[in-house]
């Protein structure tokens, strides 16, 4: 599977979507845009197709993947579907929320997707090109972020190509991803909802719909690779909460401050999330240590700070 392939760049029109769906039906891996980041998709029922995702990304171990669906009703056929899940689906799907629920018998999802767990992460993406691809495939698509393992997530087709060219069959190329950070992940067991990863939907918005606070994972046994300490890592060193750049550093700014690149000169967290990974890619290409301005720990700022802390963490060496 490691022989170099030609990676086709596909337009997000009917012909491109048909080609992408045919490649996926043939067991290949195709990158596609979602509202959060680009995903690397394969048929979640086909074990060798899913193994190809791990091979292309160079993932060191089998971490569970999110299954993407065209419609919320399809989730109820794969996982237990309590009223809490239906409620969150009504409010946030299609959109950047992933729910982790117990698998149902006869689900048909291969165990490489779940990494052998008895739960499954499901999400219905809002991006029109993702939705069109899911309808054309008529299959559940396993899709992690479309970046080499441990590196910065891809929010443009160019990022995908830079990381995975020659390792995947195609890229459905449809410009930058509007949200820019990955989905919020909520685990549901019984009536308890736990936030497993901060992401594109603010914690407060979910708590408002639930009418109750989300709990936090207490236990080291929670298998969320998003929780690997070093993740989303640029090649260069990252220094957080920097008021100014030191000699030799490039600066990632936030708010009205001088910086090499600014996430949002007006201090808008939505704009900052959308720019986060693209700016990190650009600064990384400059080959210098990166100083990052403080970002408020509220709303989407929590997801941004989570990704920045991982980018700054000592490297785990994958
Ligand atoms: O926005 C997103 O979620 C993007 C787009 C492509 O949809 N996908 C994404 O996938 O970020 P990935 O593989 O980079 O992250 C998947 C996360 C991991 O942190 C993993 O631990 C968690 O989902 N996950 C998946 N299945 C799980 C399960 N059964 N239990 C707990 N966590 C799970
Ligand atoms: Mg990822």
Residue 318 has pLDDT above 50, yes or no: no
The pLDDT of residue 98 is: 98
Cα(245) to centroid(ligand 1), Å: 33
The pLDDT of residue 234 is: 85
State the Rg of the chain over Cα.
Answer: 19
The pLDDT of residue 219 is: 58
Check pocket membership of 119 for ligand 1, CB cut-off 6 A.
Answer: yes
* 211 CB neighbour count, 10 Å cutoff: 7
Residue 1 has pLDDT above 60, yes or no: no
Q: pLDDT (tens digit, 9 = 90+) per residue, 254-308?
A: 999 899 999 999 999 999 999 999 999 999 999 999 999 999 999 999 999 999 9
- Tell me which residue has its CA closest to atom 20 in ligand 1: 224
The pLDDT of residue 317 is: 37
Check pocket membership of 41 for ligand 1, CB cut-off 6 A.
Answer: no
b/e code 95-130 from CB counts within 10 Å (16+ = b): bbbbbbbebeeebebbebbbeeeebbbbbbbbbebb
Check pocket membership of 145 for ligand 1, CB cut-off 6 A.
Answer: yes
* 43 CB neighbour count, 10 Å cutoff: 22
Rounded to whole angstroms, how far apart are CA atoms 30 and 178? 20
* 14 CB neighbour count, 10 Å cutoff: 10
Rounded to whole angstroms, how far apart are CA atoms 228 and 221? 12
Check pocket membership of 63 for ligand 1, CB cut-off 6 A.
Answer: yes
Residue percentage of the chain with pLDDT more than 90: 81
Residue 114 CA: which ligand 1 atom is closest?
29
**What residues flank ion ligand 2 with Cβ within 5 A?**
145
Side by side, the strands of the sheet bearing 97-102 are 8-10, 170-172, 30-32, 39-43, 141-142, 66-68, 119-123, 97-102, 184-189, 192-197
Rounded to whole angstroms, how far apart are CA atoms 91 and 84? 11
Cα(258) to centroid(ligand 2), Å: 30
Residue 123 CA: which ligand 1 atom is closest?
7
Rounded to whole angstroms, how far apart are CA atoms 60 and 140? 24
Check pocket membership of 36 for ligand 1, CB cut-off 6 A.
Answer: yes
Side by side, the strands of the sheet bearing 261-262 are 238-239, 290-292, 250-253, 261-262
Q: Which of 87, 84, 115 is nearest to 101 (CA)?
A: 84
b/e code 280-289 from CB counts within 10 Å (16+ = b): bbebbeeebb
What average pLDDT does this structure show over 78-99? 98
Residue 38 CA: which ligand 1 atom is closest?
6
Nearest ligand, measured from the Cα of 224: 1
Check pocket membership of 64 for ligand 1, CB cut-off 6 A.
Answer: yes
The DSSP 8-state label assigned to residue 145 in this structure reads B
Q: What angle do CA 307, 254, 235 make, to 5 degrees?
A: 45
pTM to 2 decimal places: 0.88
Cα(256) to centroid(ligand 2), Å: 30
Phi, psi at 38, each rounded to 5° = -70, 140
Beta-bridge partners for 79: 103
Instruction: Tell how strand 119-123 and strand 141-142 pair up.
Output: unpaired
Residue 222 CA: which ligand 1 atom is closest?
31
Residue 120 CA: which ligand 1 atom is closest?
29
pLDDT category at 37 given cuts 50, 70, 90 is very high
Q: pLDDT (tens digit, 9 = 90+) per residue, 262-276?
A: 999 999 999 999 999
Check pocket membership of 98 for ligand 1, CB cut-off 6 A.
Answer: yes
Q: pLDDT (tens digit, 9 = 90+) per residue, 191-249?
A: 899 999 999 999 999 999 999 999 998 754 445 544 556 667 788 899 999 999 999 99
pLDDT category at 3 given cuts 50, 70, 90 is low
Residue 143 CA: which ligand 1 atom is closest?
6
What average pLDDT does this structure show over 156-167? 98
Cα(206) to centroid(ligand 1), Å: 18
Q: Which of 56, 100, 58 is nearest to 78 (CA)?
A: 100
Check pocket membership of 40 for ligand 1, CB cut-off 6 A.
Answer: no
Cα(275) to centroid(ligand 1), Å: 21
Instruction: Tell how strand 290-292 and strand 238-239 pair up.
Output: parallel
């Amino acid at each position: 599977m490691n022989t170099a392939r030609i990676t086709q760049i596909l337009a997000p029109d009917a012909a491109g979507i048909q080609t992408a769906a045919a490649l996926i039906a043939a067991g290949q891996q195709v990158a596609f845009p979602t509202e959060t980041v680009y995903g690397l998709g394969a048929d979640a029922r086909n074990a060798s197709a899913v193994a190809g995702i791990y091979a292309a990304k160079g993932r060191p171990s089998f971490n569970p993947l999110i299954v993407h669906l065209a419609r919320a009703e399809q989730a109820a056929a794969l996982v237990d579907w309590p009223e809490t899940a239906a409620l969150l689906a009504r409010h946030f799907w299609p959109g950047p929320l992933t729910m982790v629920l117990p698998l149902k018998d006869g689900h048909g999802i291969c165990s490489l997707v779940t990494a052998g767990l008895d739960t499954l992460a499901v999400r219905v993406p809002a991006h029109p090109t993702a939705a069109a691809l899911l309808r054309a495939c008529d299959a559940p698509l396993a899709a992690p972020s479309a970046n080499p393992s441990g590196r910065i997530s891809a929010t443009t087709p160019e990022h995908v190509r830079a990381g995975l060219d020659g390792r995947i069959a195609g890229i459905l190329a449809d410009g930058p991803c509007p949200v820019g950070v990955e989905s919020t992940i909520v685990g549901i067991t019984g009536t308890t909802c736990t936030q497993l990863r901060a992401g594109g939907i603010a914690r407060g918005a979910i708590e408002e719909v639930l009418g109750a606070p989300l709990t936090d994972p207490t236990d080291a046994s929670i298998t969320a690779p998003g929780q690997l300490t070093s993740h989303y890592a640029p090649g260069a060193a990252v220094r957080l909460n920097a008021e100014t750049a030191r000699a030799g550093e490039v600066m990632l700014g936030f708010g009205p401050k001088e910086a090499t690149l600014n996430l949002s000169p007006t201090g808008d967290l939505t704009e900052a999330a959308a720019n986060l990974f693209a700016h990190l890619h650009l600064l990384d290409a400059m080959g210098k240590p990166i100083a990052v301005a403080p970002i408020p720990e509220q709303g989407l700022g929590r997801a941004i700070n989570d990704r920045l802390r991982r980018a700054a963490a000592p490297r785990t060496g994958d």
